[in-house]
């Protein structure tokens, strides 16, 4: 048994008492290029220990008020078929408190649909990604990292694909023919009118929503640690603007988020970007709820900061 994983080095509480549930998902079953994403959850959580508790944009320390629970990692068992493994994820995530903020740390992108289905029956999925991931099957399986958006589309969710810059011809056709798939290409987002329209769209969403971040949606000069890099991509500040508009939108009910497809690398820059995204998601989600917390009694209050 390896040592317990922690968020920002803070003590964990039990899953039924936690405000924030972090689920490590150590899976890279269908990697088609560079391996390593199964070790990302541990690397991202380790990188969180280098972050300040103070979140500079909203100017507060979320963990003074919140308790995290980093849940036991889920990994495939020996020779477990993909369908059985994904069913197990669905089952585990279904059992978690609907009130807490849920964030899955992958692992490859194929992990998204079963987490989503476990926490929302319908609604909008905002996916940051270089790729459309709308293949109906890839290398013989629908459980491929190239298929999650297709599986979500099939289950009736509305998709907002952001940062896309690599498409298969059939995917482009599918997007064109389906008004429930909304694409914001990386190139278009260079133009201010498209960018403003994306932010307006995120700000206008209502109802259940999920944020799925494939780390290759970002510029590979910011996040070199990905399996299938593509030139172009979102900047750090564009990423923050998207997070602020979506999670800051109090008309949505953020049912969960996931951060996927990271491959830890020696400079630690990639995992630090993912770690800070995790912190920003938590801060943005919790800040409007601060009135629910009468006193600062969170995990950070247990730590001697001197």
Shortest CB 106 distance to Mn ion, Å? 11
**Residue 297, CB-side half-sphere exposure with 13 Å CA sphere:** 8
Number of residues in contact with Mn ion, rule: CB under 5 A? 5
Q: CB 44: neighbour CB atoms within 10 A?
A: 28
Query: According to CB under 5 A, which residues from 184 to 203 bind Mn ion?
Result: none
Binding mask 260-279 for Mn ion (x = CB under 5 A): --------------------
Quick one: 228 or 300, whose CB is closer to Mn ion? 228
Q: CB 286: neighbour CB atoms within 10 A?
A: 23
Candidates 5-13, 97-105, 130-138, 262-270: pick the segment binding Mn ion (CB under 5 A): 130-138
What's the token pair of residue 6?
A: 């922690």
Quick one: 31 or 202, whose CB is closer to Mn ion? 31
Give yes or no for a contact between 39 and 268, defined as CB atoms under 8 angstroms apart. no
Q: How far apart are CA 268 and CA 66, in angstroms?
A: 26
What's the token pair of residue 30?
A: 């269908």
**Going by C-beta distance under 8 Å and a sequence separation of 6 or more, which residues neighbour residue 86?**
110, 111, 113, 114, 143
Shortest CB 272 distance to Mn ion, Å? 20
When asked if residue 258 is in the footprint of Mn ion (CB under 5 A), the reply is no
Choosing from 186, 214, 219, 258, the residue that interacts with Mn ion (CB under 5 A) is: 214
When asked if residue 216 is in the footprint of Mn ion (CB under 5 A), the reply is yes
When asked if residue 129 is in the footprint of Mn ion (CB under 5 A), the reply is yes
Shortest CB 130 distance to Mn ion, Å? 5
What's the token pair of residue 176?
A: 């064109």
When asked if residue 131 is in the footprint of Mn ion (CB under 5 A), the reply is yes
For 113-186, list the strands marked E by DSSP: 124-128, 158-164, 181-185
Point out which residues bind Mn ion (CB under 5 A). Answer: 129-131, 214, 216
């Amino acid at each position: 048994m390896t040592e317990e994983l922690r968020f920002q080095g803070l003590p964990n509480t039990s899953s039924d008492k936690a405000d924030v549930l972090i689920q490590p998902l150590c899976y890279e079953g269908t990697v088609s290029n560079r391996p390593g994403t199964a070790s990302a959850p541990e690397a991202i959580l380790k990188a969180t220990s280098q972050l300040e508790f103070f979140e500079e944009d909203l100017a507060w320390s979320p963990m003074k008020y919140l308790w995290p629970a980093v849940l036991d990692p889920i990994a495939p068992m020996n020779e477990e078929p993909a369908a059985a493994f994904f069913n197990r994820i669905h089952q585990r995530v279904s059992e978690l408190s609907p009130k807490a903020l849920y964030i899955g740390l992958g692992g490859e992108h194929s992990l998204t649909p079963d987490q989503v289905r476990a926490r929302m029956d319908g609604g909008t999925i905002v996916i940051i990604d270089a790729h459309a991931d709308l293949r109906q099957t890839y290398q013989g399986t629908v459980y491929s990292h190239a298929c999650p958006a297709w599986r979500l589309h099939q289950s009736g969710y509305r998709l907002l694909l952001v940062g896309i810059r690599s498409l298969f011809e059939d995917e482009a056709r599918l997007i064109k023919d389906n008004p429930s798939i909304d694409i914001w290409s990386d190139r278009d987002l260079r133009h201010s009118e498209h960018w403003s329209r994306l932010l307006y769209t995120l700000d206008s969403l209502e109802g259940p929503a999920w944020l799925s971040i494939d780390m290759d949606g970002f510029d590979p000069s910011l996040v070199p640690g990905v399996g299938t890099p593509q030139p172009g991509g979102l900047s750090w500040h564009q990423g923050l603007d998207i997070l602020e508009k979506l999670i800051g939108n109090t008309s949505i009910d953020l049912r969960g988020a996931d951060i996927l497809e990271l491959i830890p690398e020696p400079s630690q820059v990639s995992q630090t970007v993912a770690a800070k995204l995790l912190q920003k998601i938590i801060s943005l989600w919790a800040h409007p709820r601060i009135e629910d917390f009468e006193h600062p009694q969170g995990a950070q209050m247990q730590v001697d900061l001197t």
